[in-house]
Amino acid sequence: MTGGPATGLAGPLRVVRDGSGVDVPAAERAVAALLRALGRDPAAPHLAETPRRVAEAYAELLTGRPFALTTFPNDGGYDEMVVATGIPVASLCEHHLLPFTGVASVGHLPGERILGLSKLARVLDHFARDLQVQERLTQQVADWLRDHLAPRGVGVVIAAEHQCTSLRGIRAAASRTVTSALHGLLREDVRSRQEFLALTGTAA
């Protein structure tokens, strides 16, 4: 494909998850009930607005932000990796509803088109705004880029601290979990795989 900037491989492609699954008033009532169950008085002056704040916070954290998958023709025939590193990632563990936060690297080996750089982080942000496990989040980002960008390879690495593991339970403060998902040449070709992992600081 040639021409100017485009969105998607075959015309405009907008990715939308509007969070319509979140019933904010019902969530507000549920937070008030949770406070009561925890032995707190949701009518106390300092807690009066808390159910609304918590409900709105979860609605925000669980609502993906729309974005366009802007791509450009790879006119120069660029055939090396493009890797965005140090992308902040924040999501909610589906087991405890506590945050896990860290950094991610998202990269690809371009095919006929190259991707707007910010979109690597936007895809990640989109899938992170959900109740997640780190493995699924990592795979969803890699799968989505493979399916929508048609690159020669895709790689995603996430290193994150889970508050459910660092603040409670085993309280393994500062422990990090590293997950990866690789497709195409980044999975099959040993040298490409090693190069990607080296660029992300994951390789030994």
Ligand X SMILES: Nc1nc2c(ncn2[C@@H]2O[C@H](COP(=O)(O)OP(=O)(O)OP(=O)(O)O)[C@@H](O)[C@H]2O)c(=O)[nH]1
> Quick one: what does residue 138 bind among Zn ion, ligand X, none, with the CB cut-off 5 to 8 Å set by partner type?
none
Of the residues 96, 146, 152, 187, which one makes contact with Zn ion according to CB under 5 A: 96
Smallest CA-to-CA distance from 118 within 74, 179, 71, 63 is with: 71
CB 61 within 8 A of CB 130: no
Residues that bind ligand X (CB under 6 A): 93, 95, 133-135, 162, 164-165, 169-170
Q: Which of 14, 36, 53, 95 binds Zn ion (CB under 5 A)?
A: 95
Residue of this chain nearest to ligand X (CB atom): 169
Distance in Å, CB of 116 to ligand X, minimum? 29
Name the strands in the sheet holding 153-162, side by side, starting at the edge strand that comes first in the sequence.
Answer: 131-132, 82-93, 99-109, 153-162, 177-184
Q: Is residue 160 within 8 Å of residue 180, measured between CB atoms?
A: no
Task: Kindly give the residue spans of alpha helices, DSSP state H, lying in the chain.
Answer: 24-37, 50-61, 117-128, 134-149, 163-166, 185-188, 190-199
* Given 61, 93, 156, 182, the residue binding Zn ion (CB under 5 A): 93
* Residue nearest to Zn ion as judged by C-beta position: 164
Residues 159-178 that bind Zn ion (CB under 5 A): 164
Q: What is the dihedral angle through the alpha carbons of 58, 67, 104, 148, rounded to the nearest 10 degrees?
A: 120
Q: How far is the CB of 133 from Zn ion (least distance, A)?
A: 8
Near Zn ion by CB under 5 A, which window of 6-14, 94-102, 111-119, 182-190? 94-102
Part of the chain binding Zn ion (CB under 5 A), chosen from 31-39, 103-111, 157-165, 182-190: 157-165
The CA–CA distances, whole Å, from 203 to 65, 159, 180, 196 equal 32, 13, 11, 8
| Interface segment toward Zn ion; rule CB under 5 A; list 22-30, 85-93, 133-141, 172-180 | 85-93
Q: Which of 11, 2, 151, 13 is nearest to 74 (CA)?
A: 2
Give min distance, CB of 8 to ligand X, in A: 30
Do residues 34 and 12 lie in contact, with contact meaning Cβ atoms separated by under 8 Å? no
Query: Which amino acids are annotated catalytic?
Result: 93-96, 134, 162, 164
The partner in contact with residue 10, picked from ligand X, Zn ion, none with C-beta cut-offs of 5 to 8 angstroms by kind, is none
The annotation status of 164 as a binding-site residue, yes or no, is: yes
Residue type for position 197: L
Is 183 flagged in the annotation as binding?
no
Provide the annotated binding site. Answer: 93, 96, 164
